[in-house]
Amino acid sequence: MSVLNSRIRPLADESEWAIGLAVILLLLVYLATMAPTITWAHHGADSGDLATAVALGRIPHPPGCPTYLLLGELFIHWPGGEPAWRLNLMSAVMAAGGAALAAAALCALPGEAVGPLPALVAALGLGLAPLFWSQALIAEVYAPAAFFVGLVLYLAVRGGMGG
C-alpha cells in the first residue's frame, strides 16, 4: 500500500447522512423560493435567452453554453411545470449537488476526521450563502458550473490522495 493510499479517508457514514440531509434541506429551501418562470431577479438577465435556446434547440449568445444546453435538454423533458420552471429546477438541483460535493471534498481531506456536523454546516453554509442561493433559483449557467466545480474539487481531493 502506498503512503498516499494509507492516508485516504473515505466519507464516514454519518457524514454521508449529514450531506444527504443538507441536500434535502437545500432543495426544500430552493423550491420554496425558486422563480416560477423566467425572471430578471438575481441578475438573471440571461434566463430568457437560455430558456429559449434550450426549448428551441438553438444556441444562445456567445459562448453558447453547450453543457448547459445538454443538461437543460434533460430537465426540460421532465413532466410538470413549464419549461422555464424546469430549468429553474435544474439550477436548484445542480446548486444543491455542488454544495454537497464541496462538503464531501472537505470530509475527504486527509488528517483529522470531519464529522457530520461540520459536513452539514459546510454544505448549508455554501448552499445558503446569498450569492450562491440567488443563482440556485433561476435559469442561469452558474449553478451547473458550481456543481462541476464541486465535482472537480471532490475528485481532486480523492485523486490527489490515490483514491
- Please, what are the averages of pLDDT over each run of 10 residues along the chain (163 residues)? 49 83 98 93 86 93 92 93 95 98 90 82 97 96 98 90 59
DSSP string over the chain: --HHHHH--PPPHHHHHHHHHHHHHHHHHHHHH--SS---GGG-TTHHHHHHHHHHT---STT--HHHHHHHHHHHTSSSS-HHHHHHHHHHHHHHHHHHHHHHHHHHSSSSPP-HHHHHHHHHHHHTSHHHHHHTSSS-SHHHHHHHHHHHHHHHHHHHTT-
Please give the pLDDT value at position 4.
Answer: 46
Q: What is the pLDDT of residue 100?
A: 97
- Predicted confidence at residue 116, as pLDDT, reads 85
Give the pLDDT of residue 73: 95
Residue 2's pLDDT is 46
pLDDT value, residue 1? 41
